[in-house]
Amino acid sequence: VAVPVAFAVRGQSANALSFENEAFLFTPPGFAQEGKPLWASGAETGQVHIVVRDAATGQVTPCRVNVVGADGHFYQPPKNRLSLYALTGSFPQPGSKGNRKGLAPFRYVGRFFYTMGESTVPVPPGAVRVEVWKGFEYRPETVSVSIAAGATRRIEVCLTRTAPMVEAGYYAGDSHLHLPRLTEEDDQVVFDLIEAEDFRYGLVLAYNEPANRYAGFMNAQQYPQSGTGARTVRTRGNYHIVSGQEYRSTTYGHLNLYLRDNLVSPGQQHITDNWPVHGEVGRETIARGGYAFMAHGGYGQEIWADAALGTVSAVELLQFGVYRGIELQGWYHMLNSGYRFAAQGASDYPPCRMLADGRTYAYAPAPPTIPEWLAAVAGGRSFFTTGPLVLLEVDGEKPGGRIRKSGSGAHTVKARLRVRCEVTPVTDIDLIVNGQVIEHRSVSRAEGQGRWIEMEREIPIAESSWIAARAYSSAPIKQPDAEAHTNPVFVYLNGRAPFQRTSLDAWIARIDRQIALHRKRDFPEQAKALAYFQRAQDVLLKIGENGGLAAEVAP
């Protein structure tokens, strides 16, 4: 049942996630204990030769694989070029990628390895189960065989794309990856990984470490790149990669920068906790034709000022399986103040649970280039997800669209919603108007996976509104599992944007806190930083004085 509060927001913040029940992710079906990653050897060892094909093409296809032995452990292939990215350890252990403990989504993933589609795995004799995944649009497959001592058994697994998002015009990407890109081999490994996880756009970022110190030299960055900007775009088939920068501060937050031709402040060094504020870096990047996405939900809290002034392009809201930083309520406040401020999802691989466990599906009428995909994300023409696929239309408009109504008569719009999840069950679906859940549907776990769930609803429009949809579920251990949210469709009545005074006041109060925080600090650029936050507050105060925004005004 929908909760009748100002914002019916369900879920946990990243800080509230439990470090318990880690074994849930690594206990294979039919076993009572967590499986370990093992490499089999010895005279009795058999082998399973696995070939995975795409059902549509018949071609061998990259994917993610678990090989579960009769003892419930996960058997690994001999070391190879993708072994570093197998889920055999836990971040930040040396050499371990992903599986950062305590993070959602909480679902069974096993101790998998990546393969280009064909691999041979030594296993102990007995029953062996092979589990195969590829992204969010393919149905996972399982094949069980028996392996005799010393024997080799060949199996073929056929993967079917049961939810082809391209047919609906949606293209998946992960805009927050940390992988090295210095050599041709590095690039091919990145392509292998994103093809195995089936997202078309991989945006790879260098970053400064520690977060409060900065040197504008690539060799001083973690996960160095061969460069940044458009010159680093590479394409392999349907897959595209580009390099950018995560510019980090312990005070202002983290800012992901795309399509800049160079690093921030090239050749210079400074303390990022002091100056410039991230909004100045974002403004410069946008002026150059690039994009600036505030990372991690804007957890440094400068985002309240940046969003008000339009100096960042979007907020990376869904990450680690939850809504971070400003969380859903903060984003809803911004939308209720009349802003068209886009949210998105991304993984932050490798310090996350797994590669592209959060991603964004952007709409485009034809397969987009990387700049076109980024423009769609910044324009809110998207949904973001850890598994559920959520297709919303309001009077035929997709997320980011605008519907205009005029006159005093009764107005309605029709919302059509389709939800499907291949990788885990969806149990709850919400249709949301101005932050209120106006319709909630509960779905059984059996019905919530591998089938389309459809809703239609006539929505009366008595005021300017934004309309969005959400799909989610929790794991049996009461931790977050599935999560997805669309950006809104906007309905403008009589030329006005949505406006709720309580939301604007809440936003102004957050900037008040930032001003108070920076007044207590002692740093050379304090006056410039305070002036920046004051400008943001002045913009919002002016909106309040005017009783909201006109529909097409950019604040």
Measured CA to CA, the distance from residue 156 to residue 118 in angstroms comes to 9
**Burial class for 381, CB neighbours closer than 10 Å (0-12, 13-18, 19+):** buried
Residue 257 in 3-state DSSP? Answer: strand
For helices 278-287 and 526-545, the axis angle rounded to 10 degrees is 70
- pLDDT band at 554, cuts 50/70/90? confident
- The predicted model gives 162-166 an average pLDDT of 98
Tokens matching residue 2: 């929908």
Measured CA to CA, the distance from residue 260 to residue 278 in angstroms comes to 15
pLDDT (0 to 100) of residue 95: 87
- The predicted model gives 45-49 an average pLDDT of 97
Identify the residue whose tokens are 């073929």: 156
CA dihedral for 91, 298, 241, 227, sign (positive or negative): negative
Asked if residue 460 has a cis previous peptide bond (ω within 30° of 0), the answer is: no
pTM of the complete model: 0.95
**Burial class for 143, CB neighbours closer than 10 Å (0-12, 13-18, 19+):** middle
pLDDT tens digits, 411-443: 999 999 999 999 999 999 999 999 999 999 999
pLDDT tens digits, 490-530: 999 999 999 999 999 999 999 999 999 999 999 999 999 99
Q: Is the pLDDT of residue 239 over 70?
A: yes
Q: Of 409, 425, 440, whose CA–CA distance to 473 is shortest? A: 425
Measured CA to CA, the distance from residue 529 to residue 531 in angstroms comes to 5
Q: Is the pLDDT of residue 5 over 60?
A: no
From the centroid of its chain, how far is CA 462?
A: 34
In the chain, the percentage of residues whose pLDDT exceeds 90 is 94
The rounded radius of gyration (Å) of the Cα atoms in the chain is 24
Tokens matching residue 547: 């009783």
Residue 389 in 3-state DSSP? Answer: strand
pLDDT (0 to 100) of residue 20: 58
